[in-house]
Amino acid sequence: MKYYNPVIKGFNPDPSICKVNDDYFLVASSFEYFPGIPIYHSVDLINWRQVGNCINRSSQLSFDNVSDSGGVWAPTIRYSNGVFYVTATMQNYGNFIITTNDIYKDWSDPMWVSMGGIDPSLYFEGTKAYFCTNYSKHKEKEEISMAEIDISTGELITDIKPIWSGTGGGFLEAPHLYHIGEWYYLLTAEGGTFSNHMATVARSRNIWGGYESCPLNPILTNRHDTSKEVQCTGHGDLVEDQNGNWWMIHLGTRLSRRTMTHLGREIFLTPIKWRDEWPVVVNNKKASLENEGELSEQQKVRQNWYANFKQKIWEPQWLFLRKPKNSSYHKVDGRLLLYPNSSSFDGELQPTFVGVRQADFICTINATYYFATSVVDDEAGVVFYLSSNFYYSISKRKTKQGDYLIVERVAEDFKQIAYKERIKDGKISLRIIADKQYYHFYCAIGEEPLRFVCKTSTRFLACEMAGKCFTGTVIALYALGNAFTNSVAKVESFSILT
């Protein structure tokens, strides 16, 4: 059956998957955004729905002053004896484990593990649990290391032992351990998370090694893919479906222009075959956008997003920058009220900002809101946000000369007003039509028809332009101001159509 990648769109790097009966659950990195570690559910591996977030209480982890592409990353999800476990890395704190008996409800507070390295993973066998990271005991080489752990306390039971040093591709990380047939398999990522990324595998008959490298390594990489449709593939997890078919769920990128993407790393599904008791990606080791696989259901390709401001709870797709200030948001009478605060985007702060991942290059964003300004620098609208110094915005802003509709783009030390027009009070209707290369901005005030105002290149929101950026574009409603404003942005509707 034909299906298309990515199976989960928008920035969701470092995926991990587990199967419980006939259900699949998947988690991914969320970095500086709250709530953290999104949870997705599927019964067929190609149609996924976000059902929650592992980190949904500010008491679980501190997001204060988390840097761009910092925060929480590289989670692993596993299930054992009726309990779900997720382990991940938290910037400046280390590796932790959280648990739940019901994946649709809250998770525990973190249990910290005194083992260094990043990209932690868990493996269960009988009554034993093993903890694995890319911690290296020898400074002169990279290593994947493991220790047996007391899963109830997070304390290490054995010494930390290196078990594999990879293939020499560099940046050895993302270890996942499996026992399949007579072998223990260790799946890792190498090459760095950009264009040289790859998945490599080793095996041993003993859990502690020694591990022999697969003669076909890397088993997955798009680094030599001249089609340039998919790049940066690697960091994956293996799963067997109900019919005995094997798959790798892994990250990859779609390109918007040349070698760049502003969506970030997304989640791909690639079939695995077994050859001489080694897992093999049969498509010449490459992931592709269009695939054939032994699947039980048809894929639902289009996913429109409509915000629901009538319900008090936030849908799981909403994202806030770092720890949200709850006083900045209020839902009333089917509207979302945004109260500006003095935090801006330019720093490790918590501005009034709530958005969702941009899931496709080609989409249409609609928003309607009222915003009566009161003091200079009051501002509210829609922002296309990659990081604290790479973002585009369209907003109503109060200046010393009056209220203006402003389209602004920021790329590090480059700031440009792409469009500026004096506007009157009244309902503001925004529409942004996006394609791979441009955002096309439209606006209407009051009951006037929508009219085109300007377009901006997507180039400066590309992760590659922003340097070491591990996230992707988030489309958000926002409000900025200063300590003296009493303005409120009243949002009536917000949608993203694909």
237 carries an active-site annotation: no
Q: What is the pLDDT of residues 287-320, one digit of tens each?
A: 999 999 999 889 987 779 999 999 999 999 999 9
Which of 114, 51, 49 lies closest to 84, judged by CA? 51
Q: Return the number of other C-beta atoms located less than 10 Å from residue 465's C-beta.
A: 16
**Cα angle for residues 320, 322, 326 (degrees, 5° grid):** 60
Catalytic residue among 14, 143, 237, 360: 14
Residue 461 has pLDDT above 80, yes or no: yes
Q: What is the pLDDT of residues 28-67, one digit of tens each?
A: 999 999 999 999 999 999 999 999 999 999 999 999 889 9
Which one has a higher pLDDT value, 64 or 433? 433
Catalytic residue among 32, 119, 142, 173: 173
Q: Mean pLDDT score of the chain, rounded to an integer?
A: 96
Q: What is the pLDDT of residues 57-107, one digit of tens each?
A: 999 999 988 999 999 999 999 999 999 999 999 999 999 999 999 999 999
Can you give the pTM of this predicted structure?
A: 0.97
360 carries an active-site annotation: no
Exposure on the CB side of residue 462, measured as CA atoms within 13 A = 20
Contact criterion met (CB below 8 Å) for 1 and 60: no
Ordered structural domains, the chain, with CATH: 2-292 (2.115.10.20), 305-497 (2.60.120.200)
Residue 140 has pLDDT above 90, yes or no: no
Structure tokens at 281: 């990606």
Q: Which residue has the tokens 């419980």?
A: 20
Contact criterion met (CB below 8 Å) for 280 and 274: yes
Predicted pLDDT of residue 412: 93
